Amino acid sequence: MATKRFLNTRETLVTEALDGLVRLSGGRLARLDGYPHIKVVVRAQLDAAKVAIVSGGGSGHEPAHAGFVGEGMLSAAVCGEVFASPSVDAVLAAILAVTHEPGCLLIVKNYTGDRLNFGLAAERARALGKRVELVLVADDVALPDAARPRGVAGTLFVHKIAGYLAERGAALDEIAAAARAAASAIGSLGVSLEGCTIPGAPPTERLAADEGELGLGIHGEPGVEKIALQSVRSLVALMTTRLLAALPRERAHGRFALLVNDLGAVPPIEMSVIAHELLGSALAEHVDLVVGPAPLMTSLDMNGFSLSLLELDALRRAALLAPCGVAAWPGAHEPRALELRPLPSLAQDRRAPASADARREALLLALIDRAIAIAPELDALDARVGDGDTGSTLARGAQALRARLASLPFADAPALLRAIADVIGESMGGSSGVLLAIGCTACAVALTGGSNWATSLQAGADAMAGHGGAALGDRTLLDALVPALALACSGADWHAVARAARAGANATAGLPLARAGRSAYLRSDALLGTPDPGAVAIAALFEAAAAHLRNSSDG
């Protein structure tokens, strides 16, 4: 039960949230100067030639209702305290603030407090000469025989349709009729795994660890039914069945819009899974448009979601698809078949056929032999400063290379390096294999670009440093590699290069702190006196190469 919340005080929760919203609306929103009693958010720019659309109710349902004030949706939102209807005066203030000659439509969720307070405000506004109509939304189908179904997230459909018509300059009677017709064509059902945390109230504990509840409202009241914790697939199947069963028979062949509403604390990845299951459910064949998934009509931090169906006609379809100036409205989209793109061929850089080059093959074999031979020594060093597997990891790569010798393109140096990168990347595993593959691949690119071996090897070392995030002095193989290749690039012979590598490796024993690589998380004094095993491996391989090159040029 998530009871730790981000609040200042219960008393200031709503006013602070509204002010945050208004101040970050980019000038789109204003509010009436009536705090704390009258909490009304209005459009900053109102068109006196258009019908005003006003909604509201208790707070705790954000972005409803203030988040839906804007071009093409609401003209004003009247906000009560958390889960409490706003006062008659607050509703009347909202009506008077935004209503001009064309009149005003109030959109009210069917809860007694809202009905009465919005109702009296409507009558008072009429007594003041304002043209006011009121539409009630009672979309909850949780209790099929309820005399007064609750108004829940399906209310958003009515906001959008009324807002669309008002923006187009329709008359009040037309808008009210369309809104009432739409309200009568909506069914909604919610589910939750955990109740919401009402500030100042004790946490609700009515659900066991393996329970959820179905058919709940948006004020923390219990659902009509406890259900077992289950997969989203089976949950969606259950809800789909209930929603379809609640449709009047004459609607069974209609086309629908489906609104998928996060009740407050379901993270986006799970809402997408829910959407995915809906698209594969029995509901999908009835659905032409989907709104969301998104938080639209929340219930504080409730870990749940709701589904709302609206039967479509041409007007409702156009209204839902119309763009509007409200960031919280996620748009309506036609569900599509999955757009698949063919996978690019990843093998195109491995395709070089096997080819022969005896000198290169012999050099590679010499390096393989040395890598395998020094594995125990490297593991022993690594046991002092890391997890003791530097040698065996390197040997695994070497053995894999030996097993694949016959397939390697020795005659094509860049292709050979890319092939080696693939083999060691796959066989060594972990970050060291990827790092060596990076080095080999970058070296191949440089060779292809016309660089000589020394410069190309240095390009490989640079890539390893860049992608690995280590620098000289960080107790990594770079401490052997970098000085050796600097010498190689200046034209030194391979023996001098190997000596530089060894000197660099030895010097790591005196480096105090590992800032990168395997020893980064050890205390500095545990390292002193032990050279870095990666640097030692590099030194050994340069020595093997130098010895082999001397022998083969001797021979």
Shortest reach from residue 523's CB to a second copy, in Å? 15
Between 109 and 499, whose beta carbon lies closer to a second copy? 109
Task: Considering only residues 74 through 113, tell me which ones interact with a second copy, judged by CB under 8 A.
Answer: 88-89, 92-93, 96-97, 110, 112-113
* Stretch near a second copy under the rule CB under 8 A, chosen from 33-41, 154-162, 216-224, 486-494: 33-41
SS3 at position 60: coil
Which of residues 133, 139, 194, 479 is near a second copy by CB under 8 A?
194
Task: Considering only residues 355 through 394, tell me which ones interact with a second copy, judged by CB under 8 A.
Answer: none
Site string for a second copy, 513-532 (x = CB under 8 A): --xx---x------------
Q: Can the peptide bond before residue 219 be classed as cis, meaning omega within 30 degrees of 0?
A: no
Active site residue 219: yes
Count other C-beta atoms under 10 Å from residue 269's C-beta: 7
Shortest reach from residue 137's CB to a second copy, in Å? 13
Which residues partner with 228 through β-bridges? 211
Which of residues 59, 188, 261, 390 is near a second copy by CB under 8 A?
59
Which of residues 6, 314, 323, 554 is near a second copy by CB under 8 A?
6
Between 250 and 339, whose beta carbon lies closer to a second copy? 339
Task: Considering only residues 237 through 276, tell me which ones interact with a second copy, judged by CB under 8 A.
Answer: 264-276
Which of residues 54, 80, 81, 117 is near a second copy by CB under 8 A?
117
Between 126 and 206, whose beta carbon lies closer to a second copy? 126
Between 44 and 363, whose beta carbon lies closer to a second copy? 44
Between 135 and 501, whose beta carbon lies closer to a second copy? 135
The answer to whether residue 442 forms part of the interface with a second copy (CB under 8 A) is yes
Residues 6+ apart with CB under 8 A from 319: 160, 161, 163, 164, 165
Task: Considering only residues 309 through 348, tell me which ones interact with a second copy, judged by CB under 8 A.
Answer: 327, 330-331, 333-346, 348
CA separation, residue 427 to residues 367, 433, 491 (Å): 16, 7, 34
Phi-psi region of 171 (alpha: psi -120 to 50; beta: other; left: phi over 0): beta
Between 180 and 548, whose beta carbon lies closer to a second copy? 180
Give the 3-state secondary structure of 287-319. EEEEEEEEECCCCCCEEEEEEEEEECCHHHHHH
* Stretch near a second copy under the rule CB under 8 A, chosen from 50-58, 357-365, 434-442, 542-550: 434-442
SS3 at position 516: coil
Helices (H), 128-286: 155-167, 172-183, 232-246, 268-279
Cα–Cα distance for residue pair 262/273, rounded to 1 Å: 12
Backbone angles phi, psi at 442, to 5 degrees: -65, -35
Which of residues 84, 120, 362, 489 is near a second copy by CB under 8 A?
120
Between 327 and 503, whose beta carbon lies closer to a second copy? 327
SS3 at position 332: strand
Cα–Cα distance for residue pair 172/354, rounded to 1 Å: 80
The answer to whether residue 181 forms part of the interface with a second copy (CB under 8 A) is no
User: Residue 430, Cα to own-chain centre: how many angstroms?
Assistant: 26
* Stretch near a second copy under the rule CB under 8 A, chosen from 6-14, 390-398, 476-484, 537-545: 6-14
Shortest reach from residue 245's CB to a second copy, in Å? 22
Q: What is the DSSP letter of 354?
A: P
Task: Considering only residues 451 through 480, tell me which ones interact with a second copy, judged by CB under 8 A.
Answer: 463, 466-469
The answer to whether residue 26 forms part of the interface with a second copy (CB under 8 A) is yes
Shortest reach from residue 324's CB to a second copy, in Å? 13
* Stretch near a second copy under the rule CB under 8 A, chosen from 289-297, 365-373, 392-400, 497-505: 289-297
* Residue whose tokens read 């050979």: 416
* Stretch near a second copy under the rule CB under 8 A, chosen from 59-67, 154-162, 385-393, 501-509: 59-67
Structure tokens at 501: 């590598």
Which of residues 56, 295, 391, 409 is near a second copy by CB under 8 A?
295
Between 290 and 385, whose beta carbon lies closer to a second copy? 290
Closest CA to 30 of 16, 17, 19, 14: 19
Cα–Cα distance for residue pair 147/136, rounded to 1 Å: 14
The answer to whether residue 441 forms part of the interface with a second copy (CB under 8 A) is yes
CA angle 348, 352, 354 (to 5 degrees): 145
Cα–Cα distance for residue pair 10/380, rounded to 1 Å: 62
Cα–Cα distance for residue pair 521/200, rounded to 1 Å: 44
Between 77 and 372, whose beta carbon lies closer to a second copy? 77
What is the rounded radius of gyration, in angstroms, for the C-alpha atoms of the chain?
35
Encode burial over 527-546: b for 16+ CB neighbours within 10 A, e otherwise.
Answer: beebbbbbbbbbbbbbbbbb
One of 61, 159, 219, 286 is an active-site residue; which one?
219
Phi-psi region of 469 (alpha: psi -120 to 50; beta: other; left: phi over 0): left
Between 372 and 416, whose beta carbon lies closer to a second copy? 416
The answer to whether residue 171 forms part of the interface with a second copy (CB under 8 A) is no
The answer to whether residue 201 forms part of the interface with a second copy (CB under 8 A) is no
Which of residues 10, 100, 124, 255 is near a second copy by CB under 8 A?
124
- How many chain residues interact with a second copy (CB under 8 A)? 135
Task: Considering only residues 473 through 512, tell me which ones interact with a second copy, judged by CB under 8 A.
Answer: none
Q: Can the peptide bond before residue 293 be classed as cis, meaning omega within 30 degrees of 0?
A: yes
The answer to whether residue 305 forms part of the interface with a second copy (CB under 8 A) is yes
The answer to whether residue 5 forms part of the interface with a second copy (CB under 8 A) is yes
Could you give the residue numbers annotated as active site? 219
